[in-house]
Amino acid sequence: MTAASSHSPHGQSPLRTVQVLGGGNATSSTHVRSLAAGLVARGVRVTVCAPFEAERTYDFSGTGAAHVHVPRSSDPGSVAALRSVCTHADLVHAHGLHASFRAALALSGRRTPLIVTWHDRAHADGPRAHFLRLLERRVAKAATVVFGTTSALVDRARRTGARDARLAAVALPAPRPATDPLDPDRLRPKVRAELGATGRPLMIAVGALERHRGYRTLLDAAHAWRRLDPPPLVVVAGEGTLRGELQHRIEREDLPVRLLGRRDDVTDLLAAADVALLPSRWEARSLFAQDALHARVPLVATRVGGTPELVGDAAELVPYGNARALADAALRLLADPARREELRARGARQAAGWPSEDETVAQVLSVYDELTRPLPLI
């Protein structure tokens, strides 16, 4: 689709779209900012509905989009606020399960097309898992089109009752350069010294400290690493509900692991690392996996969800929950410089084949045009 056609596809006023985020995790929020920038550049009017804290972090209005504060899903006023914002929209595009459910409620009784993008699966156990499956079914049936960021999510949407489910071309901006991109040889020892990894291998994991991230298995694997001389240091960037439990285990078992909390310098951390670790129970298009391959850092990841589709042969893949396999794969990489270099080269090739931001915007615009095109006169 050309910029001219997206600006006024039918000789009418510019297309008016509303992008809806819930809490706004890193992957979906980064995607919406990229999408908003591309749509605005092509003449589309974009309003991003997201909490104030997401706007402060991702600066949606900095793309030229309008930002409207809509409270998180737990706020009883969120649906009413969203319904008001969507009154004059030509279409609504919601990202994530909770945002999509609220958008479906807000559009109830209206003929406004609703597109939803499932960036990931909702993670829960017990009764809450059943509740989330009901939400998925409601959203899938209400949506005009469901985009899934992986083939598995597209299949899940179809099984759940989606009328039209498609694989999304989702691109995220390449990671910002390291703090000292002109002198990476100086940056690496500086970061390693700050982390306490001078003279020892450094491995890194990034993600919220929650059950589905697999950090309990990571700590199990660290038992094998602590026997090495010197033991590699594992740093984990992220925060979450398991912080206390994980920290207690690290101290009690004297594991070579440091919890760093939230960090805004993941690019610098990756530049200093020897190996990246992704031990999750499930991932769609992992932002961290993409960052690792862009940064040419060898990756050990679990063979789950969309990870094999995302990384191809550019990572070592192991079964989820198998601490021995995770530990052995990481140790083999640390001991094999040639294999690490091979994965770096494969990672660069794999990343080069991912959709670009322009391709992502073009796909989305083509669907927007399809859904808002006037019916032909008979």
Could you report the per-residue pLDDT of 233-245, keeping only the tens digit for each? 999 999 999 999 9
State yes or no: pLDDT of 359 exceeds 80. Answer: yes
Which contacts qualify for 50-56: CB closer than 8 Å, 24 or more apart?
Answer: 50/20, 50/21, 50/24, 51/21, 51/23, 51/24, 53/24, 54/21, 54/23, 54/24, 54/29
> In 10 A of CB 251, how many CB atoms?
10
Q: How far apart are CA 91 and CA 47, in angstroms?
A: 11
Model confidence at 42, pLDDT cuts 50, 70, 90, reads: very high
Q: Which of 161, 148, 164 is nearest to 309 (CA)?
A: 148
Mean pLDDT of 227-237: 95
Chain position carrying tokens 């610098």: 268
Ordered alpha helix ranges (H), the chain: 3-7, 26-41, 52-58, 78-85, 97-106, 127-142, 151-160, 184-195, 215-225, 243-253, 266-272, 287-294, 307-311, 323-334, 337-352, 357-372
Q: How many CA atoms lie within 13 A of 220 on its CB side?
A: 13
The angle subtended at Cα 26 by Cα 22 and Cα 28, nearest 5°, is 55
C-beta separation of 220 from 188 below 8 A: no
Strand partners, 206: 237
- CA 338, 339, 342, 344 torsion-angle sign: negative
* Class of domain 184-352 (CATH, top level): alpha beta
> One fold for both 3-171+356-372 and 184-352?
yes
> So what's the pLDDT on residue 175?
64
In three-state secondary structure terms, 11 is coil
pLDDT at residue number 10: 44
Q: What is the pLDDT of residues 238-290, one digit of tens each?
A: 999 999 999 999 999 999 999 999 998 999 999 999 999 999 999 989 999 99
pTM here is 0.85
- Closest listed residue to residue 46, CA positions, set 6, 78, 74, 4: 6
Residue 141: alpha-carbon gap to chain centroid? 24
Structure tokens at 120: 């990931």
Instruction: Tell the CATH superfamily of the 3-171+356-372 domain.
Output: Glycogen Phosphorylase B; (3.40.50.2000)
Q: Identify which of 35, 21, 54, 28 has the alpha carbon closest to the alpha carbon of residue 286.
A: 28
Q: Is the pLDDT of residue 215 over 70?
A: yes
With pLDDT > 70 as the criterion, what percentage of the chain qualifies? 91
Query: For residue 23, which of 92, 93, 94 has the smallest C-alpha distance?
Result: 94
Q: What's at 194, amino acid-wise?
A: E
Task: Give the residue-averaged pLDDT of 321-326.
Answer: 98
Number of other CB atoms surrounding residue 286 within 10 Å: 24
pLDDT at 95 over 80: yes
Sequence-ordered list of residues with C-beta below 8 angstroms from that of 267, at least 6 positions apart, any chain: 175, 176, 177, 178, 179, 291, 295
Share in percent of the chain as helix, strand, coil (round to 5): 50, 15, 35
| Interatomic CA distance for residues 213 and 222, integer angstroms | 16
Task: Pick the more confident residue, 27 or 278.
Answer: 278
Which pLDDT score, from 0 to 100, does residue 9 have?
46
Could you state, in order of their start, the residue ranges of all structural domains in the chain?
Answer: 3-171+356-372, 184-352
Residues 224 and 255: beta-carbon distance below 8 Å: no
Q: What is the pLDDT of residue 130?
A: 83
Which of the residue ranges 2-6, 141-145, 284-288 would you say has the lowest mean pLDDT?
A: 2-6
Contact 369, 1 (CB under 8 A): yes
Residue 108: pLDDT over 80: yes
Query: Which token pair is 240?
Result: 């979450």
Assess whether pLDDT exceeds 50 at residue 3.
Answer: no
